[in-house]
Amino acid sequence: MKRTVLIALSLFGLLVSACGGGAAPTVAPPQPTTPPQPTSAPQPTAVPPTQVPPTQPPATQAPTQPPASPPPALPDLGARELRVGTDPTYPPFETVDQNKNIVGFDIDLFNEICKRVNCKPTYKTSGFDAIFIALGSGDLDVGLSGITITDERKKTMDFSDPYLQYGQVVLVRSDESRITGKSDLETKQYLVGVQLGTTNEETARQMVGDDKLKRYDTFDLAVQALINKDVDAVVIDSLAAYGYMDTNPGKLKIAGQPFTSEVLGIAVRKGLDDVVKAINTALTAIKSDGTMKNLCEKWWPKPETRPSC
């Protein structure tokens, strides 16, 4: 019995020893923690220098043109009738065609003016000097016959703005060799024809005196006298001289160069300020839109004799 107990106790001890009665497992001591290395400051990344483009000079811009002013509004004369005096013996300004109609540059121009400002021209023929008398007496409203603007005439009539510029010339026969210009007339050896009442009459009188001056009622009579050798020369406006040369081909020529500078205007009876204003406004439009140029090309077809329009 005792022996049995001993065996049992021995077995129990072995069992206890096998189940954990041995030494506890050795735990490795903790390793010392290595302090972190200080972080090195990052090296700055090299940045390539910025290339600054060369400064370009600012582009030169064309100056801005102000917008063109609109043409002034055309006055309306309310279909008013205007009595227009003209001497139809002065081509190409005014003449009578084969159908007895008054035609010419001045006529076309004034018809265009009236179309734009609503007036109705009634043309009345007369001698050149009589036009001024009728304007003064109130029998005419407008004078239209290649009329030169002068200070003396302004005393008794009003004028539009100038519409053509010209110079006076010496007109001679095409076979004339003695007279080469104004200076030859000033020798007072030659008989000179002019139209009565014109600025040409006064110019010629100063050059040759009354004794050598022959006055005619119309320029076509003076030119015919020249062709017929009744006078030696005619003092006349250059633009009219070209017209007579065209209507008498091969018979006439201009001696020398123009020796004055004058302007033509439309004469208006004193007191018709609204008519003057309407004419001037229409003239501005006619010049700016090319109508004046077209009229000049029509009545002076040769470029070498055409006025500047």
For residue range 14-40, list pLDDT tens digits in order: 333 443 444 344 434 444 444 444 444
The answer to whether position 71 is within a domain reads no
The answer to whether position 41 is within a domain reads no
169 in Cβ contact with 256 (< 8 Å): yes
End-to-end C-alpha distance for the chain, whole angstroms: 164
- Do 109 and 153 lie in one domain? The reply is yes
DSSP readout, 201-222? HHHHHHHH-GGGEEEESSHHHH
- Do 140 and 289 lie in one domain? The reply is yes
Question: According to the model, what pLDDT value does residue 30 have?
Answer: 43
The answer to whether position 229 is within a domain reads yes
The answer to whether position 7 is within a domain reads no
Position 139 confidence tier, pLDDT thresholds 50, 70, 90: very high
Say whether pLDDT at 112 is over 80.
yes
Say whether pLDDT at 126 is over 70.
yes
Name which residue leads in pLDDT, 63 or 126.
126
- Do 161 and 172 lie in one domain? The reply is no
Position 308 confidence tier, pLDDT thresholds 50, 70, 90: confident
Mean pLDDT of 284-303: 96
Say whether pLDDT at 152 is over 90.
yes
Say whether pLDDT at 58 is over 60.
no
pTM of the predicted model, to two decimals? 0.73
HSE of 290, CA atoms in CB hemisphere, 13 A:
0
Position 56 confidence tier, pLDDT thresholds 50, 70, 90: low
Question: According to the model, what pLDDT value does residue 72 have?
Answer: 65
Name which residue leads in pLDDT, 152 or 2.
152
- Do 184 and 213 lie in one domain? The reply is yes
- Do 181 and 224 lie in one domain? The reply is yes
Return the CATH number at 123. 3.40.190.10
Q: How far is CA 245 from CA 43, 77, 164, 186, 210, in A?
A: 101, 38, 19, 24, 27
How far from chain centre, in Å, is Cα 129? 35
Q: How far is CA 196 from CA 127, 273, 289, in A?
A: 9, 29, 36
- Do 159 and 172 lie in one domain? The reply is no
Mean pLDDT of the residues in the chain: 84
- Do 281 and 159 lie in one domain? The reply is yes
Domains in the chain, number:
2
The answer to whether position 63 is within a domain reads no
- Do 239 and 92 lie in one domain? The reply is no
Domain hosting residue 235, numbered range? 168-260
- Do 120 and 160 lie in one domain? The reply is yes
Question: According to the model, what pLDDT value does residue 34 have?
Answer: 44
The answer to whether position 19 is within a domain reads no
The answer to whether position 211 is within a domain reads yes
- Do 204 and 268 lie in one domain? The reply is no
- Do 93 and 115 lie in one domain? The reply is yes
- Do 288 and 142 lie in one domain? The reply is yes
